[in-house]
Structure 1
Amino acid sequence: MDDSAKIAALNDLARQTFMDCRVVITQGIQMLGDATTAEILSAVQSFDTFTADNDPYGEHDFGKITHAGYDVFWQFSYYDLDFTMHSPDPTDTTVTARVLTIMLAEEY
Protein backbone atom coordinates (compact mmCIF):
# COMPACT_ATOMS: atom_id res chain seq x y z
CA MET A 1 0.00 0.00 0.00
CA ASP A 2 1.46 3.39 -0.94
CA ASP A 3 1.57 6.35 1.44
CA SER A 4 -1.53 8.04 -0.02
CA ALA A 5 -3.59 4.89 0.44
CA LYS A 6 -2.33 4.48 4.03
CA ILE A 7 -3.18 8.10 4.83
CA ALA A 8 -6.62 7.72 3.22
CA ALA A 9 -7.37 4.60 5.30
CA LEU A 10 -6.29 6.32 8.52
CA ASN A 11 -8.27 9.46 7.65
CA ASP A 12 -11.38 7.47 6.76
CA LEU A 13 -11.26 5.55 10.03
CA ALA A 14 -10.75 8.74 12.04
CA ARG A 15 -13.48 10.66 10.18
CA GLN A 16 -16.03 7.86 10.28
CA THR A 17 -15.54 7.05 13.97
CA PHE A 18 -14.03 10.26 15.44
CA MET A 19 -11.51 7.95 17.09
CA ASP A 20 -7.73 8.36 16.91
CA CYS A 21 -8.12 12.07 16.15
CA ARG A 22 -9.18 15.32 17.70
CA VAL A 23 -12.32 16.81 16.25
CA VAL A 24 -12.49 20.59 16.25
CA ILE A 25 -15.59 22.53 15.26
CA THR A 26 -15.37 26.22 14.60
CA GLN A 27 -17.42 28.91 16.24
CA GLY A 28 -19.56 29.17 13.10
CA ILE A 29 -20.55 25.50 13.32
CA GLN A 30 -21.18 25.75 17.06
CA MET A 31 -23.43 28.78 16.59
CA LEU A 32 -25.78 26.73 14.38
CA GLY A 33 -27.05 24.98 17.50
CA ASP A 34 -26.76 21.49 18.93
CA ALA A 35 -29.18 19.75 16.55
CA THR A 36 -27.69 21.19 13.36
CA THR A 37 -24.15 20.60 14.63
CA ALA A 38 -24.99 16.95 15.34
CA GLU A 39 -26.46 16.57 11.84
CA ILE A 40 -23.35 18.11 10.28
CA LEU A 41 -21.05 15.84 12.29
CA SER A 42 -23.05 12.83 11.12
CA ALA A 43 -22.87 14.02 7.50
CA VAL A 44 -19.10 14.41 7.76
CA GLN A 45 -18.81 10.90 9.16
CA SER A 46 -20.81 9.42 6.29
CA PHE A 47 -19.11 11.40 3.50
CA ASP A 48 -17.84 9.04 0.80
CA THR A 49 -17.97 10.90 -2.50
CA PHE A 50 -14.27 11.23 -3.16
CA THR A 51 -13.32 11.88 -6.78
CA ALA A 52 -10.17 12.85 -8.66
CA ASP A 53 -11.49 16.42 -8.67
CA ASN A 54 -12.06 16.77 -4.91
CA ASP A 55 -9.31 14.38 -3.75
CA PRO A 56 -6.43 14.74 -6.24
CA TYR A 57 -3.83 13.12 -3.95
CA GLY A 58 -6.08 10.27 -2.83
CA GLU A 59 -5.61 10.99 0.87
CA HIS A 60 -9.25 11.68 1.83
CA ASP A 61 -8.03 14.71 3.77
CA PHE A 62 -10.62 17.31 2.74
CA GLY A 63 -14.30 17.40 1.91
CA LYS A 64 -17.24 19.70 1.33
CA ILE A 65 -20.86 19.07 2.21
CA THR A 66 -23.94 21.24 2.09
CA HIS A 67 -26.34 20.92 4.98
CA ALA A 68 -29.42 23.04 5.69
CA GLY A 69 -28.18 25.61 3.19
CA TYR A 70 -24.72 25.87 4.75
CA ASP A 71 -21.56 24.94 2.88
CA VAL A 72 -19.32 23.06 5.29
CA PHE A 73 -15.67 22.12 4.82
CA TRP A 74 -13.79 19.52 6.78
CA GLN A 75 -10.06 18.89 6.66
CA PHE A 76 -7.34 16.91 8.37
CA SER A 77 -4.10 18.32 9.72
CA TYR A 78 -1.20 16.19 10.95
CA TYR A 79 0.84 17.16 13.98
CA ASP A 80 3.55 15.57 16.07
CA LEU A 81 2.30 14.08 19.34
CA ASP A 82 3.05 17.30 21.24
CA PHE A 83 1.02 19.39 18.75
CA THR A 84 4.01 21.68 18.28
CA MET A 85 4.88 20.99 14.64
CA HIS A 86 3.87 19.05 11.56
CA SER A 87 3.99 15.26 11.84
CA PRO A 88 7.18 13.71 10.53
CA ASP A 89 5.14 10.88 8.94
CA PRO A 90 1.32 11.02 8.65
CA THR A 91 1.28 7.29 7.85
CA ASP A 92 2.70 6.44 11.28
CA THR A 93 0.17 6.64 14.11
CA THR A 94 2.93 6.41 16.71
CA VAL A 95 4.24 9.84 15.72
CA THR A 96 1.10 11.53 14.36
CA ALA A 97 -1.80 13.31 16.02
CA ARG A 98 -4.65 13.82 13.56
CA VAL A 99 -6.89 16.86 13.87
CA LEU A 100 -10.16 17.00 11.97
CA THR A 101 -11.46 20.55 11.67
CA ILE A 102 -15.07 21.13 10.64
CA MET A 103 -15.96 24.68 9.60
CA LEU A 104 -18.35 26.78 7.60
CA ALA A 105 -16.89 27.44 4.16
CA GLU A 106 -16.96 31.15 4.89
CA GLU A 107 -14.58 30.56 7.82
CA TYR A 108 -11.90 28.97 5.62
Structure 2
Amino acid sequence: MTEQAKRRATIARLNDQLRSTGEDGWTYLSRGVSRLPTVIQEDVIRAIRLFCDFTPDNDPRGEHDGAALTVGEHRIAWKIDYYTRGQACNGKVDPADQSATLRVMTIMFVETI
Protein backbone atom coordinates (compact mmCIF):
# COMPACT_ATOMS: atom_id res chain seq x y z
CA MET A 1 0.00 0.00 0.00
CA THR A 2 1.40 3.40 -0.96
CA GLU A 3 1.82 6.20 1.57
CA GLN A 4 -1.00 8.11 -0.10
CA ALA A 5 -3.29 5.07 0.12
CA LYS A 6 -2.40 4.62 3.82
CA ARG A 7 -3.12 8.29 4.46
CA ARG A 8 -6.51 8.10 2.73
CA ALA A 9 -7.37 4.93 4.66
CA THR A 10 -6.54 6.74 7.93
CA ILE A 11 -8.69 9.72 6.94
CA ALA A 12 -11.56 7.39 5.95
CA ARG A 13 -11.31 5.55 9.29
CA LEU A 14 -11.39 8.82 11.25
CA ASN A 15 -14.30 10.13 9.17
CA ASP A 16 -16.18 6.85 9.67
CA GLN A 17 -15.61 7.17 13.42
CA LEU A 18 -17.26 10.61 13.52
CA ARG A 19 -20.05 9.61 11.15
CA SER A 20 -20.90 6.33 12.88
CA THR A 21 -20.53 7.41 16.52
CA GLY A 22 -20.78 11.20 16.57
CA GLU A 23 -17.64 11.23 18.72
CA ASP A 24 -14.49 13.34 18.38
CA GLY A 25 -16.09 16.05 16.29
CA TRP A 26 -19.16 18.18 15.83
CA THR A 27 -22.33 17.50 13.89
CA TYR A 28 -24.56 20.26 12.58
CA LEU A 29 -27.99 20.00 11.01
CA SER A 30 -28.85 22.52 8.32
CA ARG A 31 -31.97 24.63 8.76
CA GLY A 32 -33.82 22.37 6.33
CA VAL A 33 -32.99 19.22 8.30
CA SER A 34 -33.65 20.87 11.67
CA ARG A 35 -37.17 21.81 10.50
CA LEU A 36 -38.06 18.18 9.78
CA PRO A 37 -40.04 16.35 12.48
CA THR A 38 -37.81 14.91 15.23
CA VAL A 39 -38.57 11.32 14.25
CA ILE A 40 -37.37 12.03 10.69
CA GLN A 41 -34.25 13.79 11.99
CA GLU A 42 -33.50 10.65 14.02
CA ASP A 43 -34.02 8.50 10.90
CA VAL A 44 -31.63 10.76 8.95
CA ILE A 45 -28.91 10.54 11.59
CA ARG A 46 -29.35 6.77 11.87
CA ALA A 47 -29.12 6.36 8.07
CA ILE A 48 -25.93 8.42 7.93
CA ARG A 49 -24.39 6.46 10.80
CA LEU A 50 -25.13 3.18 9.03
CA PHE A 51 -24.19 4.39 5.52
CA CYS A 52 -21.57 2.17 3.88
CA ASP A 53 -22.35 2.45 0.17
CA PHE A 54 -19.18 4.31 -0.80
CA THR A 55 -18.28 4.03 -4.47
CA PRO A 56 -15.75 5.73 -6.76
CA ASP A 57 -18.65 7.90 -7.98
CA ASN A 58 -19.65 9.26 -4.56
CA ASP A 59 -16.24 8.97 -2.86
CA PRO A 60 -13.59 9.56 -5.54
CA ARG A 61 -10.73 10.16 -3.06
CA GLY A 62 -11.72 7.24 -0.83
CA GLU A 63 -11.86 9.42 2.29
CA HIS A 64 -15.53 8.85 3.23
CA ASP A 65 -15.96 12.60 3.70
CA GLY A 66 -19.43 13.00 2.23
CA ALA A 67 -22.29 11.46 0.31
CA ALA A 68 -25.96 11.82 -0.49
CA LEU A 69 -28.72 9.40 0.39
CA THR A 70 -32.48 9.10 0.49
CA VAL A 71 -34.27 8.78 3.81
CA GLY A 72 -37.97 8.13 3.33
CA GLU A 73 -39.08 10.83 0.91
CA HIS A 74 -36.18 13.17 1.65
CA ARG A 75 -32.90 13.53 -0.21
CA ILE A 76 -30.12 14.30 2.28
CA ALA A 77 -26.43 15.14 1.83
CA TRP A 78 -23.68 15.16 4.41
CA LYS A 79 -20.13 16.48 4.31
CA ILE A 80 -17.21 16.37 6.73
CA ASP A 81 -14.93 19.40 6.84
CA TYR A 82 -11.65 19.77 8.72
CA TYR A 83 -10.45 22.52 11.04
CA THR A 84 -7.34 22.96 13.10
CA ARG A 85 -8.29 22.40 16.73
CA GLY A 86 -8.46 25.70 18.57
CA GLN A 87 -8.96 27.86 15.47
CA ALA A 88 -12.22 29.38 14.33
CA CYS A 89 -11.23 29.59 10.66
CA ASN A 90 -10.37 26.93 8.14
CA GLY A 91 -6.58 26.89 7.82
CA LYS A 92 -4.01 24.35 6.69
CA VAL A 93 -5.18 21.13 8.28
CA ASP A 94 -3.91 17.56 8.20
CA PRO A 95 -7.07 15.40 8.32
CA ALA A 96 -4.92 12.31 8.96
CA ASP A 97 -3.77 13.80 12.30
CA GLN A 98 -6.58 13.11 14.75
CA SER A 99 -5.00 15.05 17.60
CA ALA A 100 -4.69 18.28 15.59
CA THR A 101 -7.86 18.10 13.49
CA LEU A 102 -11.43 18.87 14.44
CA ARG A 103 -13.96 17.16 12.18
CA VAL A 104 -17.27 18.90 11.54
CA MET A 105 -20.06 16.99 9.81
CA THR A 106 -22.86 19.03 8.28
CA ILE A 107 -26.10 17.27 7.39
CA MET A 108 -28.08 19.10 4.71
CA PHE A 109 -31.58 18.84 3.29
CA VAL A 110 -31.51 18.58 -0.51
CA GLU A 111 -35.13 18.01 -1.51
CA THR A 112 -38.33 16.10 -0.90
CA ILE A 113 -38.83 13.49 -3.59
Partner amino acid, structure 1, of 2:17: L
Matched, 1:101 2:109: no
Compare the two structures and name the one with the higher strand fraction. Answer: 2
Name 1:56's counterpart in structure 2: 60
Taking the aligned partners of 1:6 and 1:46, their CA distance within structure 2 comes to 19
CA RMSD of aligned residues (A): 1.2
Give the TM-score taking structure 2 as reference length.
Answer: 0.88
User: 3-state DSSP class of the match of 1:105?
Assistant: strand
1:15-41, Cα deviation, whole Å (9 max, x unpaired): 000001100001100111111001100
Post-superposition offset of 1:69:
1.1
Task: Show the counterpart of 2:41.
Answer: 37
Q: Percent identity?
A: 35
2:7 is aligned to 3
TM-score normalised to the size of structure 1?
0.92
- Where in structure 1 are there 5+ consecutive unaligned residues? none
Count of residue pairs the alignment pairs up = 106
Larger-Rg structure: 2
Letter in 1 for 2:69: I
